[in-house]
Amino acid sequence: MVLACVALGLLQGGASAQSLRGSASSLDRQTAQAIQHDFTYLPGTAQLRRFVDTGLLVPVGGNRDYTLKDVSFPFARPATKVFIERLAAQYRRACGERLVVTSLTRPLSLRLRNASDRSVHPTGMALDLRRPQGTCRQWLEATLLYLEGQAVLEATRERSPPHYHVAVFPTQYSAYVDGLTARGSGGARSPRVHIVRRGETLWGIARRHHTSPVALRRANSLSSTRIHPGDALTVPDS
């Protein structure tokens, strides 16, 4: 199959520069992952229910860290559920509110009018997140960009309605989480993103997170020590 050859090339080539703007190459990488994992594009609700019964899709019901809004089929691949729970816990600690999931597995028969015909939602590996406001939006975008930079997902900022489409790469994301666990980092510190508050300095932020200003500048590609309120800084490992 031609797509299989394309998939291999994309998987070996890695991700390009991150922007959340979406692109044909981003869709290519999502398709490549679906092919690599031999994921079925579920044609209808009957097939979706069979996947739930066999455990290929697992329930996603919400908890103290996240909630579901207008989700017709609250099921996802296991790795996608792990991603939601970890991200939501971090988001709630950073923002003091629950993350909102607006879409999960969606069979081909119920594809939305404005959805791409290459969407991986029918495979169960994708989800949509409501776009928050202010510093919570900055935190969420910085975190998604960080994880996209680790080549464990693809994230796209969508406009109608405002949300983020996220496709989780199961093998890569699971390996990423296992690596954090092996290093003793745990879920709360992966990744660490600091939203700059008024009056803060790069030196003070570095001291608070037990790192150095030089390491902060390198991790965020800063040309100077100048920072501004609202900036989202990725905090490197100590």
Q: At what angle do helices 2-13 and 24-36 cross, to 10 degrees?
A: 110
Is the domain defined by 2-176 classed in CATH 1.20.1050? no
- Which pLDDT does position 78 carry in this prediction? 92
Q: Residue 98: which region, alpha, beta or left (left: phi > 0; alpha: psi -120 to 50)?
A: beta
Q: State residue 165 phi and psi, 5-degree precision.
A: -95, 130
Q: Is 79 helix (H, G, I), strand (E, B) or coil?
A: helix
What residues pair up with 126 in beta bridges, in sequence order?
167
| Residue closest to 177 by CA, chosen among 94, 89, 238 | 89
Q: How many Cβ atoms are within 10 Å of 39's Cβ, its own excluded?
A: 17
Q: What is the dihedral of CA 89, 57, 146, 67, to 10 degrees?
A: -30
Q: Are 214 and 220 within 8 A, CB to CB?
A: no
Could you tell me the two tokens for 93?
Answer: 């600690």
- Which pLDDT does position 184 carry in this prediction? 62
Beta strands per DSSP E along 44-158 = 58-59, 66-68, 75-76, 99-103, 126-130, 153-158
Asked whether the domain spanning 191-235 has the same topology as the one spanning 2-176, the reply is: no
Could you list the mean pLDDT of each consecutive 10-residue stretch along the chain, which spans 238 residues? 35 51 88 94 94 93 94 94 94 92 92 77 96 91 91 91 94 88 56 78 86 85 83 77
| Residue closest to 79 by CA, chosen among 101, 57, 98, 110 | 57
Judged on CB neighbours under 10 Å (0-12, 13-18, 19+), 178 is: exposed
Sequence ranges of the domains in the chain: 2-176, 191-235
- Between CA 238 and CA 225 the distance in angstroms is 19
- Between CA 98 and CA 62 the distance in angstroms is 10
Query: Top-level CATH class of 191-235?
Result: alpha beta
- Which pLDDT does position 5 carry in this prediction? 36
- Which pLDDT does position 238 carry in this prediction? 60
- Strands 163-168 and 153-158, how do they pair? antiparallel
- Which pLDDT does position 154 carry in this prediction? 95
- Which pLDDT does position 12 carry in this prediction? 38
Q: Which amino acid is at 117?
A: D
